[in-house]
């Protein structure tokens, strides 16, 4: 039996999490977080358990901690413990990435386009996953 890849969806909108999950569910099992703080905690626990996420989908604008700060903290953590950066795709309705552009693997505009998401995933995973 083939093991599915593991994703983390971090978004304050339940509808956005549902839409992203519906699109990626064919290829990924996934967990959900409602803000950047929760997403960071879940990322760290997954790494510490030896079962890290294969990819993170991160909203930009959220309460508690926005996606840009969460990405910085995730990348700092990965560097501190010496692990490879896992792919992060930012999801936003209008935000520009600015100073974190080099820290992420792509930007997906809301509402999400299945075709664009599939293109991003094929580039990130070098065609090693089935199209969504």
The structural domains of the chain, with segments of one domain joined by +, span 5-124
pLDDT in tens, 44-97: 999 999 999 999 999 998 999 999 999 999 999 999 999 999 999 998 877 666
Question: For residue 3, what pLDDT band results from cuts at 50, 70 and 90?
Answer: low
Q: Tell me which residue has tokens 């569910």.
A: 25
Q: Which fold has domain 5-124?
A: Rossmann fold (3.40.50)
* Lowest mean pLDDT across 18-27, 93-102, 118-127: 93-102
- pLDDT digit string (tens) for 101-124? 788 998 888 777 788 888 889 989
Which residues, other chains included, contact 62 with Cβ-Cβ below 8 Å and sequence gap of 6+?
10, 11, 12, 34, 35, 36
pTM score, whole prediction:
0.91
- Cβ neighbours of residue 116 under 8 Å, at least 6 residues apart? 108, 109
What's the mean pLDDT in 21-49? 95
Spatial separation of the C-alpha atoms in residues 72 and 50, rounded to whole Å: 21
* Reported confidence tier of residue 1, pLDDT bands at 50, 70, 90: very low
């Amino acid at each position: 039996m083939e093991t599915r890849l593991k994703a983390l969806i971090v978004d304050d909108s339940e509808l956005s999490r549902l839409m992203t999950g519906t699109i990626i569910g064919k290829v990924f099992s996934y967990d959900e977080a409602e803000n950047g703080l929760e997403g960071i905690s879940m990322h760290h626990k997954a790494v510490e358990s030896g079962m890290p996420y294969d990819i993170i989908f991160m909203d930009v604008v959220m309460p508690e901690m926005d996606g840009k700060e969460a990405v910085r903290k995730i990348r700092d953590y990965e560097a501190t413990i010496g692990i490879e950066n896992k792919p992060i795709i930012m999801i936003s309705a209008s935000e520009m990435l600015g100073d974190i552009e080099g820290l992420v693997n792509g930007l997906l505009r809301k509402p999400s386009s299945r075709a664009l998401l599939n293109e991003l995933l094929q580039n990130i995973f070098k065609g090693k996953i089935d199209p969504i």
